[in-house]
Structure 1
Amino acid sequence: MNTLLSLYQEMGWGLSLLVLATFLLAGTVKGVIGLGLPTVSMGLLGLAMAPAHAAALLIVPSTFTNLWQLLLGGHLRGLIVRLWPMLLAIFIGTGIGSLWLGMDGGQWVARALGGALVAYAMCGLFLPVLRVAARHERWLGPVCGIATGIITAATGVFVIPAVPYLQALGLSRDELVQALGLSFSVSTLALAAGLLWHGELGSGELGASLVMLLPALIGMQVGQWLRQRISAALFKRVFFIGLAMLGAHLLING
């Protein structure tokens, strides 16, 4: 797949429309709750295509929206100083995972993706609010980073265990939003490097990913509009239940 045109000729109109709808929905979810674009994209696209192809499509939308998220607020420098061991570990873990595992298109990849989605959904639904003492951050951050990186390389999902860890640091709402954007940006760039290494991210894939930026941004605007009119807590619960069902389907059927 060397060109954008050849990519869409291979996908066909039906799959192309599914991809557009997926990024519109994923952007809407991110607009409402501040995360979920890569998770929703990987989960839904994993039903119709190889996870490596799905991961390649999310690179540009994920990078752009996460950079936008991390640049808002005034805590970036402090967060980098505090979180750099975890961020470095995410990059290293993704590199190790890309060399060791990679998304080779085997059935185990789809099942691993399903397992990651189920685990994330269960954390969102049932995990109580945790607190990490400052004295444990020095070793726990890198451990979570390595684990997140390996899971990212294998499934394209980079929320486990990074999101529960960041939520346990006692950050303010603005700091947490910015910290999530920072973590997701590093994960996306590391994933892109891994896909490039395996030859899964060429000019055609990048061109198609760039096209997916538009529906993702439209979805984010819709989500921000919805956030003012619906209960974010209820929406998040419905999101996690749906994610658990989607992950279970992938886990069982591969």
Structure 2
Amino acid sequence: MDVTFGFLLLFVATFLVAGLVKGVTGMGLPTVAVGMLGSAVSPVTAAAMLVIPSLVTNVWQLLNGPSLGALLRRLWPMMLAILLGTVASTALLVEGDSRWSGMALGGALVAYAAYALLSPSTSVPGRWERPLAPLVGLVTGVLTGATGVFTLPAVPWLQSLRLPRDVLVQALGLAFTVSTVALALGLGRLGEFRLGQLGWSTAGIVPALVGMALGQAVRSRISQQRFRQFFLAFLILLGLELAIRALL
């Protein structure tokens, strides 16, 4: 890969912006990073570059919350399924054409977020959570392995549990931490996470953390209702970005 001053600027700006978005909404770093870097490197290379910044920011998000123990006890079946599904399906990202899956992901995300904005009472009945959580995790893992994006259906599922704002952000941090580790294991198993990419991935930590700190400062100044609206609006933007990118 040729390294130019323009690419260095793009690299720093990518992780600064992606960290800012993640700090506000609790998500979006992989999608923003892959989208911005996609003009300069392949999707597989972009996915490898974001592994360490994604892991570090996810762990920070996971630990910087009020309910880690309770979340682990509640969500572990889903997390285990995400891990297994991602590792098993990473070959689809390396060997397959992810355009159509990206378009489907984007369309589903837009549809869900638009519906949730119009129907604020959307929630998962308590009796359904335990039996459905492993299935949600497995589908999330397969889609993560196939596309490098950790969004569906885990994010809508967690949002539909009606968790308080800070607990939701922490739950997203848990899901994304597991997804990042699983994606790194899958890429490493296939020989796609190389030493050179490890260096680039490490270099993305500082701008990602700076952006995330700025985003967290913004999030602390908005109300619960405004956060929900912003969160769902951002899901629509992510979905549109995924769908449009698949068409280009």
TM-score band by shorter chain is 0.7 to 0.9
Q: Deviation per CA, 1:15-55, whole angstroms, max 9, x where unpaired?
A: 33222211111111112222211121122223432211111
Query: How far apart are residue 216 of structure 1 and its match?
Result: 0.9
| Alignment coverage as a number of residue pairs | 242
Structure 1 length-normalised TM: 0.85
Residue equivalent to 1:243: 238
Residue equivalent to 1:126: 115
State the alpha-carbon separation in 2 of the partners of residues 11 and 192 from structure 1: 23
* TM alignment of 1:150-229, pairs within 5 A: 150-227=142-219
Per mean C-alpha deviation after superposition, the further-off stretch among 87-96 and 240-249 is 240-249
* TM alignment of 1:1-254, pairs within 5 A: 10-99=2-91, 101-104=92-95, 108-127=97-116, 128=119, 129-227=121-219, 232=227, 236=231, 239-253=234-248
Structure 2 length-normalised TM: 0.86
Percent sequence identity over matched residues?
A: 47
Residue equivalent to 1:4: none
- Distance verdict in 2 for CA 1:125–1:43, change over 3 Å: farther
RMSD (Å) for aligned C-alpha atoms: 2.3
State the alpha-carbon separation in 1 of the partners of residues 94 and 8 from structure 2: 21
Query: How far apart are residue 196 of structure 1 and its match?
Result: 0.6
Query: How far apart are residue 85 of structure 1 and its match?
Result: 0.7
- Distance verdict in 2 for CA 1:57–1:118, change over 3 Å: farther
Letter in 1 for 2:108: A
State the alpha-carbon separation in 2 of the partners of residues 93 and 62 from structure 1: 19
Query: How far apart are residue 130 of structure 1 and its match?
Result: 2.5
Q: Secondary structure at the match of 2:4?
A: helix
Letter in 2 for 1:126: Y
Conserved? CA contact 2:113–2:233, under 8 Å: no
Task: Structure 2: give runs of 5+ residues left out of the alignment.
Answer: none
Query: How far apart are residue 236 of structure 1 and its match?
Result: 4.5
Conserved? CA contact 1:115–1:251, under 8 Å: no
- Distance verdict in 2 for CA 1:140–1:235, change over 3 Å: closer
State the alpha-carbon separation in 2 of the partners of residues 10 and 80 from structure 1: 43
- Distance verdict in 2 for CA 1:130–1:229, change over 3 Å: closer
Letter in 2 for 1:246: E
Q: Secondary structure at the match of 2:149?
A: coil
Task: Structure 1: give runs of 5+ residues left out of the alignment.
Answer: 1-8
Conserved? CA contact 1:43–1:113, under 8 Å: no
